[in-house]
């Protein structure tokens, strides 16, 4: 399969070769111009800087794009490589970019002399994502654009952008400048001269990311994590903490990692008002269907002693079956208010799988991170689910190997483990199976300070997960993947990806 990752649905090789004598011209309908320009830039990256003498006489080939595919969905494509022409057939613009990713990989593998072949291809899942935590460490817009480009070259189509957590608030909203002013920098105490460290993304930065992603048919899902993981939010709004009359606690973005009691007071209307304004600001910046509101890892002890939270539980009848105040139900109630606000903006809320514990509207898309079992349970209950289980699958902050000298935290996930990821666990009912939209890889960055380190954690495990999400089960095979990875590795090298090169298992 010529180093193609993800593996296409079908590849048929025929006689002959197509010689590329120069950067080929394109024939296409005007509407495909943005996509064609992305594909042309990919080919220019992969073609040799000087075309070898023997190919210069080749017939000038043309890459013709036809908008005539009727089956396979918006991202499907057919690619024909013939001696003097390359044809791409699509059902929509997205297919042009997906076909272009295949073509770029073929050119990487074969240079100017492509084998004649025909490829038919379409994705297994509609949600093929990756998450980057830009909170624990700050990453530049240029780095994010580069990761989007690499993701598109692997046919991924969802970018989950983790923008708030205990350690920082990264979004500089024009209407609420205090959030980034107090939340975007944290004290770096690693040296004896303690400094503020961090950064935030302006509206212009977000527009660059969203537009670049759109040109590659990647949707951006921003995440603001509430009501937990909120130290950096409370840094500018300490009044939203469950304080008593004698408590004047102040908050700073955390310089430690873990789970903290910096949780928004679920009893105060002000908390919901603020979260509502934040998501309203987000909806103006991010045009996609989904807004992610977090909801994971919420310590709830202080809700039980806070007079506002207790009043809320009393007024809303949030008790357990023994009649005691139930903070799980308070979280469910809080997230429901957030969800109603997000729906009012015409968007769908995404939340981590803890939301299923207390129950929520079936309109919420659940991201199953604790385990595939949590995702299966949610799917059986009727939620739409994206699988990103932490254990030996989708958490790319884990080490590649069980070695002291490998970077990483909290677990081991070999390339083989990542490859074995399947969003559909055994034994699901047909209805539940239909609720699973796909999966994604998550890169948390507590120990990832620099972009080059991020690439080491991502690749080639993200290549493996991209195949798990795109390729039909019938063509997936680890031995084949491992052998394609030899050529694919050179493709990544040409793009100067700082990939992991060690054993795959
Ligand atoms: C998570 O890893 N807490 C979503
Ligand atoms: Zn409270």
For residue 76, pLDDT over 70 is answered with: yes
Contacts of 255 (CB under 8 A, 6+ apart): 167, 186, 187, 188, 189
| Whole-number pLDDT of residue 2 | 83
DSSP state of 369: -
Q: Which ligand is nearest to the CA of 264?
A: 2
Q: Which ligand is nearest to the CA of 330?
A: 2
Q: Are 336 and 353 in contact (CB under 8 A)?
A: no
Q: What is the pLDDT of residues 1-13, one digit of tens each?
A: 689 999 999 999 9
Distance (Å, whole) CA 204 – CA 218: 18
Could you tell me if 463 and 416 are in contact, meaning their C-beta atoms sit under 8 angstroms apart?
Answer: no
What's the pLDDT score for residue 245? 65
| CA–CA gap between residue 196 and residue 97 (Å, rounded) | 41
Q: Is the pLDDT of residue 203 over 70?
A: yes
Distances (CA, A) of 354 to 129, 329, 351, 375: 20, 12, 8, 10
481 lines ligand 1 (CB under 6 A): no
Ligand 2 centroid to 310 CA: how many Å?
Answer: 7
Distance 390 CA to ligand 1 centre (A): 8
**In this structure, what token pair is assigned to residue 54?**
């023997």
> For residue 244, what pLDDT band results from cuts at 50, 70 and 90?
confident
Q: Which of 369, 393, 413, 443 to mutate to test the pocket of ligand 1 (most atoms within 8 A of CB)?
A: 369
CB of 406 closer than 6 angstroms to any ligand 1 atom: no
Q: pLDDT band for position 59 (50/70/90)?
A: low
| Closest among 30, 109, 22 to 65, alpha carbons compared | 30
Write the pLDDT tens digit of every residue in 81-128.
999 899 999 999 999 999 999 999 999 999 889 999 999 999 999 999
- Residue-level pLDDT at 98: 98
- pLDDT at residue number 49: 80
Distance 446 CA to ligand 1 centre (A): 12
Pairing state of beta strands 219-226 and 158-162?
Answer: parallel
Better pLDDT: 245 or 351: 351
Q: CB of 242 within 8 A of CB of 307?
A: no
Counting from 1 in the atom list of ligand 1, the atom nearest the Cα of 352 is 4
Q: Whose CA is nearest to atom 3 of ligand 1?
A: 296
Residue nearest (by alpha carbon) to ligand 1 atom 2: 369
d(CA 367, CA 365): 7
User: How far apart, in whole angstroms, are the C-alpha atoms of residue 412 and residue 395?
Assistant: 9
pLDDT level of residue 56 (50, 70, 90 thresholds):
low
pLDDT in tens, 362-415: 999 999 999 999 999 999 999 999 999 999 999 999 999 999 999 999 999 999
- Do 98 and 75 meet the contact criterion of CB atoms below 8 Å apart? yes
**Over pLDDT 90: what percentage of the chain?**
92
User: Which ranges of 231-326 does DSSP label H, i.e. alpha helix?
Assistant: 231-236, 269-285, 301-305, 307-316
Q: Is 369 in the pocket of ligand 1 (CB under 6 A)?
A: yes
Q: What is the mean pLDDT of residues 323-342?
A: 98
pLDDT surpasses 80 at 52:
no
| The CATH classification of domain 10-121, taken from the options 3.30.379.10, 1.10.1060.10, 3.40.50.1970, 1.10.3720.10 | 3.30.379.10
CA–centroid distance for 361 within its chain: 23
Residue 404: phi and psi, rounded to 5, are -50, -40
Q: Is the pLDDT of residue 63 over 70?
A: yes
Ligand 1 lined by 334 (C-beta under 6 Å): no
Domains 10-121 and 127-494 fall in the same CATH topology? no
Q: Where are the domains of the chain?
A: 10-121, 127-494
Q: Average pLDDT of the chain?
A: 96
Entry pTM: 0.98
Q: Which ligand is nearest to the CA of 354?
A: 1
Contact yes or no for 252/187 (Cβ under 8 A): yes
Residue-wise pLDDT for 250-281, tens only, equals: 999 999 999 999 999 999 999 999 999 999 99
To the question of domain 127-494 being in CATH 3.20.20.80, the answer is: yes
């Amino acid at each position: 399969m010529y180093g193609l990752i993800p593996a296409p649905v079908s590849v048929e090789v025929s006689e002959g070769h197509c010689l590329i004598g120069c950067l080929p011209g394109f024939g296409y309908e005007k509407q495909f111009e943005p996509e064609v320009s992305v594909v042309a830039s990919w080919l220019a990256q992969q073609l040799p800087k000087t075309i070898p003498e023997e190919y210069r006489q080749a017939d000038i080939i043309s890459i013709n794009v036809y908008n005539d595919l009727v089956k396979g969905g918006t991202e499907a494509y057919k690619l024909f490589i013939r001696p003097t022409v390359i044809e791409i057939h699509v059902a929509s613009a997205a297919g042009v970019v997906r076909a272009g990713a295949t073509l770029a990989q073929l050119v990487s593998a074969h240079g100017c002399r492509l084998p004649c072949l025909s490829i038919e291809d379409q994705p297994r899942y509609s949600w093929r994502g990756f998450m980057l935590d830009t909170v624990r460490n700050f990453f530049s817009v240029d780095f994010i654009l580069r990761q989007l480009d690499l993701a598109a070259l692997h046919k991924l189509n969802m970018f989950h952008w983790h923008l708030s957590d205990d350690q920082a608030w990264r979004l500089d909203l024009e209407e609420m400048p205090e959030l980034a002013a107090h939340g975007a920098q944290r004290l770096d105490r690693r040296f004896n001269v303690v400094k503020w460290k961090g950064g935030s993304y302006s509206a212009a930065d977000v527009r660059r990311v969203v537009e670049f992603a759109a040109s590659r048919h990647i949707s951006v899902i921003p995440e603001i994590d509430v009501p937990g993981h909120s130290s950096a939010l409370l840094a500018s709004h300490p009044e939203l903490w469950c304080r008593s009359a004698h408590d004047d606690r102040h908050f700073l973005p955390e310089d430690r990692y873990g789970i903290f009691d910096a949780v928004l007071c679920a009893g105060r209307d002000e908390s919901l008002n603020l979260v509502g304004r934040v998501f309203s600001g987000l909806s103006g910046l991010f045009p996609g269907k989904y807004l992610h509101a977090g909801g994971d890892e919420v310590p709830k002890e202080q809700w039980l002693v806070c007079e506002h939270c207790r009043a809320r539980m009393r007024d809303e009848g949030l008790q357990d079956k023994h009649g005691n105040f139930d903070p799980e139900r308070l979280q469910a109630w809080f997230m429901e208010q957030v969800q109603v606000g997000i729906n009012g903006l015409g968007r769908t809320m995404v939340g981590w799988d803890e939301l299923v514990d207390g129950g929520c509207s079936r309109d919420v898309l659940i991201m199953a991170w604790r385990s595939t079992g949590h995702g299966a349970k949610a799917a059986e209950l009727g939620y739409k689910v994206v699988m990103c289980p932490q254990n030996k699958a989708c958490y790319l902050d884990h080490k590649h190997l069980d070695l002291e000298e490998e970077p990483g935290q909290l677990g081991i996930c070999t390339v083989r483990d990542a490859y074995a990821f399947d969003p559909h666990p055994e034994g699901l009912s047909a209805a539940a199976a239909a609720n699973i939209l796909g999966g994604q890889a998550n890169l948390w960055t507590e120990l990832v300070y620099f972009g080059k380190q991020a690439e080491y954690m991502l690749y080639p495990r993200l290549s493996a997960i991209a195949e798990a999400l795109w390729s039909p089960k019938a063509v997936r095979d680890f031995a084949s993947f491992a052998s394609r990875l030899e050529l694919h590795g050179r493709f990544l090298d040409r793009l100067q990806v700082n990939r992991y090169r060690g054993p795959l298992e």
